[in-house]
Amino acid sequence: MENKKLSTQKVVLAGMMAAVMAVMSQIQFPLPSGVPVTMQTFAMALAGYVLGWRYGLISTAVYILLGAVGVPVFAGFSGGIGFATSPAGGYIWGFLPMVALCALGYEKKNYVWLCVLSVLGLAACHLFGVIQFSLVTGMGWKEAFFVASVPYLVKDVASLAGAYIAAKAVRAGLKSAGAQMA
């Protein structure tokens, strides 16, 4: 019975984290590139650090699927399958490896591994984003990197650090409330 309780708790937490992702996506500042500055990377790292890789990925997949079917969860209250061909859509796909790598870093219980894997997750997210941005806009890879990645790097690295700090507090709160954390 304990495993069912744990699974139910984790599924509920994954759903709640998908809602957090949707809310954090609306905190945005548009840029001329068409890729807004958002708090999505903070939310994705938080999901990985709090939920672990399995439920972090479930949460992220729920968020992406909700957006794909038209629920306005993406930046600017947008939704629909059109994200798959938008200039910023690659970042949305890149959230999946980002969440998984952030989670694996947290689970290592080693600060160096946490930093390395989190930065690799962020790099994967940016790589997906730059590739799609380049393909959609027709820009070369280098130009796309400087337009669609570089302006976000400082904020995104700070988001990783902030999410780690927030995750420690969230996990402590969940533990004190009796939630079973991995």
Write out pLDDT tens, residues 32-86.
888 899 999 999 999 999 999 999 999 999 999 999 999 999 999 999 999 999 9
User: Does residue 170 have a pLDDT over 50?
Assistant: yes
Are the C-beta atoms of 107 and 54 separated by less than 8 Å? no
- Whether pLDDT at 150 is above 50: yes
Q: How many domains does the chain have?
A: 1
Report CA torsion sign: 167, 181, 102, 28.
negative
In a domain, 181, yes or no: no
Q: Could you tell me if 41 and 47 are in contact, meaning their C-beta atoms sit under 8 angstroms apart?
A: no
DSSP 54-112: HHHHHHHHHHHHHHHTT-S-BGGGB-SGGGGGSTTHHHHHHHHHHHHHHHHHHHTT-HH
Provide, rounded to the nearest whole percent, the portion of the chain with pLDDT above 90.
87
pLDDT greater than 60 at residue 6: no
| 85: containing domain | 2-176
**Cβ distance 56 to 103 under 8 Å?**
yes
Answer yes or no: are the C-beta atoms of 90 and 128 closer than 8 Å.
yes
Residue 111 falls within a domain, yes or no?
A: yes
Nearest to 22 by CA among 61, 83, 67: 67
CATH number at residue 140: 1.10.1760.20
What is the spatial distance between Cα 10 and Cα 8, in angstroms, rounded to a whole number? 5
Q: What is the pLDDT of residue 179?
A: 83
**Is residue 40 one of the residues assigned to a domain?**
yes
Helix (H, G, I), strand (E, B) or coil at 35: coil
What pLDDT, on the 0 to 100 scale, is given for residue 81? Answer: 95
Whether 1 shows a pLDDT value over 90: the answer reads no
- Domain presence at residue 182: no
The one-letter amino acid at 179: A
Mean pLDDT of the chain, nearest integer: 94
Residue-wise pLDDT for 16-31, tens only, equals: 999 999 999 999 988 8
Tell me whether residue 77 is in a domain: yes
Q: Look at residue 30 in the predicted model and tell me its pLDDT.
A: 87
